[in-house]
């Protein structure tokens, strides 16, 4: 479970190198470091077996896919 907060932080912290915009892909919102840290703390505090870390991990992957699509 410790890897999931790190995945969340990494997913939210990474920035795309290219800043091209696309009319098809939505803009990925950037979150301040304080918000990311609070989210990681709250994620770690979830009870064992919670499904939220899975959903948040999927969200992080989706954000990276959107960023990759914008850099093409």
Boundaries of every domain in the chain = 3-70
Check: CB of residue 12 under 8 Å from CB of residue 39: yes
Q: What would the pLDDT profile of 3-26 be if each residue is shown by its tens digit?
A: 666 666 666 665 545 555 546 888
Q: How far apart are CA 47 and CA 10, in angstroms?
A: 22
20-58 pLDDT, tens digit each = 554 688 889 999 999 999 999 999 999 999 999 999 999
Q: What is residue 38's predicted lDDT score, i.e. its pLDDT?
A: 97
Cβ-proximal residues to 9 (8 Å cutoff; 6+ apart), any chain: 36, 37, 40
């Amino acid at each position: 479970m410790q890897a999931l907060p790190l995945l969340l932080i990494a997913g939210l912290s990474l920035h795309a190198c290219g800043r091209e915009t696309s009319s098809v892909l939505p803009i990925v919102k950037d979150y301040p470091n304080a918000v990311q840290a609070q989210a990681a703390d709250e994620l770690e505090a979830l009870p064992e077996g919670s499904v939220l870390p899975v959903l948040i991990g999927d969200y992080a992957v989706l954000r990276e896919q959107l960023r990759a699509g914008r850099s093409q």
